[in-house]
Structure 1
Amino acid sequence: MARVVWHVPVTTSGTGSTTALRLFRLRDGRRCAVGFSSPEALVALLGPNQAHTELGEPALRDLTAPLGIDTLVVNPRMVAPSVTIPAGAGPSAPSAPAPTCPAPAARLQRR
């Protein structure tokens, strides 16, 4: 039986000596891990400069479980950019509605 490998986005330190999983949030605010079935799918959504590594599902679950993350999303169709608050904007500034995104193409079951 062939081993299933996910292409998982990671971040690296400025010196390149440290690598960490890049985690995302679902629409309801919960954190999740994301995997792609191919490097091309990852590049199509996150761009060619996104570093990634290959992990099997058990390894990805083992890395995220201590963080309280039990949801893995496979091949999401959209990733919204990070939210940044402009300098000088306070609680009284009107906020834009949160962007919505379609459901992921596939979602692995929770344990």
Structure 2
Amino acid sequence: MARVVWHVPVTASGTGSTTALRLFRLRDGRRCAVGFSSPEALVALLGPDQAHAELGEPALRDLTAPLGIDTLVLDPRLVAPSVTAPPATPLTPTLTAPAPTAPAPTARLQRR
């Protein structure tokens, strides 16, 4: 049986001595781990500068379980925030004159 390998995005520390799994969020806000079936699929979505590691699904589940993450997404097609409704107010600003304000009282120091 062939070994199935997921290509998972990782981040490296500034010195390069530590590597951490890069986690994402689903549209409902829950955290998830993402994997790709090929390095080309990873590069197509996350760009050529995204570092990655090769892991099997059981290893990825073992890494994410202590963090409370039980959702794995293979080959996501869209990584974006959820779409929000357009604003109810018009986008063109209305000009109004500022309301007149009373001058602020000045404080005076008293000598003792």
TM-score normalized by the length of structure 2: 0.72
Tell me the equivalent position of 2:97. none
CA distance in 2, matches of 1:99, 1:20: 26
Tell me the equivalent position of 1:46. 46
List per-residue Cα deviations over 1:53-90 (Å, max 9, x = no partner): 0000000000000000000000000112xxxxxxxxxx
Tell me the equivalent position of 1:99. 82
CA distance in 1, matches of 2:46, 2:82: 17
- RMSD, matched Cα: 0.9
1:99, distance to aligned residue in structure 2 (A): 3.1
CA distance in 2, matches of 1:7, 1:35: 5
Tell me the equivalent position of 1:12. 12
CA distance in 1, matches of 2:45, 2:16: 23
Q: Which runs of 4+ in 1 moved over 3 A?
A: none
Tell me the equivalent position of 1:30. 30
The residue type paired with residue 82 of structure 2 is: P
CA distance in 1, matches of 2:53, 2:78: 20
Structure 1: tracts of 5 or more residues without a match: 81-97, 101-111
| Secondary structure at 1:7 match in 2 | strand
**Aligned pairs, how many?**
83
- The structure whose Rg is larger is 2
CA distance in 1, matches of 2:14, 2:79: 24
CA distance in 2, matches of 1:70, 1:78: 20
